[in-house]
Amino acid sequence: MSQVRGKTPDFAARIALNKKRFGDVPSSCLGELKDVKEIQFPEVYKQYCVKGNDLVYKKIANVEEAAERIAYIYIHAIDEMVGNSDYEWHHDPASIIARYQTGDWAFYGIYLEGDLISVVSMFINRGQKYMQWVWGAVDPQYRGKGAWVHVGQYLDSVVEASGAQMGKVWCATTHCLSQRTAESAGYDLIALNHGGEFLGGSDGKYYRQNVAYYSKLYGDGAKHVQPDETMVLTPKTEKLFRLLKELNKAEEAAEAI
């Protein structure tokens, strides 16, 4: 049986091609790697009065001392972390301290009369230059005090001051509070993931929750983005892109009124 052979590869051309980026990305959108900022967890202090409650928002400075209280809030507010190793460590003080000591995790708290009543865990992805809001919780005894009225505005200021190029958050769909929080911070809806998160519980049961994904570009991240017109999309992804763009623009216009 004869064998059909292709042309001899042009290795010089292949090497030259491999040095290029995926597709035709214009030089006008390129940034300098040497100018990329290191991401840090900033100290951001805010005060708000809600429903007559004087609330203080700040980074939890001594996580080693606060770990028991942080774990208590998560245990009593979010049972659905059980069974997911990416999240269940929030229920264990020693694991909270260990994650904090990596330098990639921090905790921001809301205080009422000096007491920690709410907490948000934040994660830095240093490779992708983004900061993620991970889990926010309010001690059930303090619900109704207005702790989350300004949390979106506050976390937006945290990410902006961090040097991150992007902020990300996924939001539950069993209620719309976290979605409203992300939208109040100017985050764009980027996806609705059917069954996107594995959530369990202390009763030994689990399910996959449908979740909404949001993101926002900051600083140099907003300057060095692939232009929309250079994207090569299938009809389905193009339709989704245009729909999301229209939705997010409509939201921005409504907020401006």
C-alpha triplet 102, 214, 158: angle, nearest 5°:
50
CA distances in angstroms from 21 to 3, 43, 231, listed in the order given:
35, 37, 13
Lowest mean pLDDT: which of 1-10, 56-65, 75-84, 231-240? 1-10
Choose among 157, 220, 216, 158: nearest CA to 182: 216
What's the whole-number average pLDDT of the chain? Answer: 92
Query: What is the model's pLDDT at position 22?
Result: 62
Q: For residue 135, what pLDDT is reported?
A: 98
Q: What is the pLDDT of residues 6-64, one digit of tens each?
A: 455 566 665 665 556 666 788 888 999 999 999 999 999 999 999 999 999 999 999 99
* pLDDT value, residue 250: 77
How far apart CA 247 and CA 74 sit, in angstroms, is 33
User: What per-residue confidence (pLDDT) applies to 4?
Assistant: 43
| Domain 37-224, CATH among 3.40.50.300, 2.60.210.10, 3.40.630.30, 3.40.50.2020 | 3.40.630.30
The rounded percent of the chain whose pLDDT value lies above 90 is 84
Q: What is the pTM of this model?
A: 0.88
Look at residue 227 and tell me whether its pLDDT is greater than 50.
Answer: yes
CATH 3.40.630.30 segments of the chain = 37-224
pLDDT of residue 1: 46
pLDDT for residue 26:
83
For residue 11, the model assigns a pLDDT of 64
198 has a pLDDT exceeding 50: yes
- Each residue's pLDDT tens digit, 85-143: 999 999 999 999 999 999 999 999 999 999 999 999 999 999 999 999 999 999 999 99
